[in-house]
């Protein structure tokens, strides 16, 4: 179980004033649920994911994972606990092959080729075309994104965070990816947090959390929250309008 308690994150503006990006967020996520974070651009979703992953330290508040306070743990220690993150904008690794990345992610330098192929197939990539490719600028944005998702799958973590897995991915591969998330969720072996703006992904959620203006604006099961989102035609403004962020 993941528990966020009164999590806030502030940065100092150049003029010396404080900017609050996350504002007193409290949230509990039960094991093996699929939770979608959604909300308007700039609402704080990626910042929250980065705080959960240990890439930034919250200004105040605490994070508990399976009852343990992990607020002061770094990204490596959190990864060891099984928390894995697929970046919104994945990095490239010049000189590193797709095969190498998958082996590192799986923690097995002799990961069988058939297993590597399976991870790539799950994200709609043909292993023959990609296993020996370098993860450098020669790969397209959508290819790098899908390879990144394959490495998150290879880590076999207990909590998988995907930040806009749909970004830059074509319609056909996106359909394949949605099936992969759905199949993974039905195994109930990991908690999944997916940050997404896509109705197809949101439609997989056990629970939807709408984040806007650094606050949780709405939270509830899919049947309750999805109609609310779909009926909102104000481009997200109404979702954040009552937030008291300063
Ligand atoms: N280090 C920082 N300094 C200043 N502003 C920041 C910093 N980090 C994040 N922000 C701002 O905080 C807000 C939230 O950013 P975040 O990336 O979390 O949004 P998001 O909900 O993931 O948006 P999107 O849907 O566009 O990915 C944005 O307005 C962003 O510009
Ligand atoms: Mg984001």
pLDDT in tens, 52-106: 999 999 999 999 999 999 999 999 999 999 999 999 899 999 999 999 999 999 9
Q: Is the CB of 52 under 6 A from ligand 1?
A: no
Ligand nearest to the CA of 87: 2
For position 242, what pLDDT does the model report? 45
15-54 in b/e form (b: 16+ CB < 10 A) is eeeeebbbbbbebebeeebbbbbbbbeebbbbbbbbbbbb
The strand pairing partners of 142, in sequence order, are none
Is residue 211 within 8 Å of residue 44, measured between CB atoms? yes
Q: End-to-end distance of the chain based on CA atoms, in angstroms?
A: 31
For position 233, what pLDDT does the model report? 59
- Helix-strand-coil percent breakdown of the chain, rounded to 5? 35, 30, 35
Q: Name residues with Cβ closer than 5 Å to ligand 2, which is an ion.
A: 45-46, 88
Is residue 125 within 8 Å of residue 180, measured between CB atoms? no
Tell me the C-alpha distance between 216 and 175, whole Å.
29
From atom 26 of ligand 1, which residue's Cα is the shortest distance away? 41
Tell me the C-alpha distance between 193 and 158, whole Å.
11
From atom 3 of ligand 1, which residue's Cα is the shortest distance away? 11
For position 239, what pLDDT does the model report? 53
Atom of ligand 1 nearest to the CA of 47: 18
What's the gap in Å between 108 CA and the centre of ligand 2?
A: 31
Is residue 92 within 8 Å of residue 146, measured between CB atoms? no
Ligand nearest to the CA of 59: 1
Q: Is the CB of 11 under 6 A from ligand 1?
A: yes
For position 246, what pLDDT does the model report? 35
For position 245, what pLDDT does the model report? 38
Q: Is the CB of 17 under 6 A from ligand 1?
A: no
Query: Beta-carbon neighbour count of residue 98 at 10 Å?
Result: 26
What's the gap in Å between 19 CA and the centre of ligand 1?
A: 11
For position 85, what pLDDT does the model report? 94
From atom 17 of ligand 1, which residue's Cα is the shortest distance away? 46
Q: Which residues of the chain have pLDDT under 50?
A: 235-237, 240-246
């Amino acid at each position: 179980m993941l528990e966020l308690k009164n999590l806030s994150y502030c940065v100092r503006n150049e003029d010396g004033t404080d900017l609050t990006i996350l504002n007193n967020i409290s949230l509990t996520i039960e094991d093996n649920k699929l939770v979608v974070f959604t909300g308007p651009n700039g609402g704080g979703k990626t910042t929250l994911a980065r705080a959960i992953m240990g890439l930034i330290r919250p200004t105040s508040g605490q994070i508990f994972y399976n009852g343990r306070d992990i607020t002061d743990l770094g990204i490596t220690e959190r990864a060891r606990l099984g928390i894995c993150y697929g970046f919104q904008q994945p990095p490239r690794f010049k000189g590193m092959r797709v095969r190498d990345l998958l082996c590192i992610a799986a923690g097995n330098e002799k990961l069988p080729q058939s297993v590597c192929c399976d991870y790539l197939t799950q994200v709609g990539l043909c292993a023959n075309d990609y296993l020996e490719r370098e993860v450098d600028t020669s790969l397209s944005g959508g290819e790098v994104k899908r390879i990144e998702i394959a490495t998150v799958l290879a880590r076999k973590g207990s909590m998988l965070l995907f930040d806009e897995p749909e970004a830059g991915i074509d319609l056909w591969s996106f359909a394949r990816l949605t099936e992969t998330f759905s199949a993974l969720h039905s195994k109930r072996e990991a908690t999944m947090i997916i940050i997404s703006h896509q109705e197809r992904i949101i439609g997989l959620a056990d629970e939807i959390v709408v984040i806007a203006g650094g606050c949780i604006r709405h939270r509830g099961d899919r049947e309750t929250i999805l109609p609310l989102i779909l009926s909102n035609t104000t481009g997200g403004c109404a979702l954040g309008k009552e937030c008291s962020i300063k």
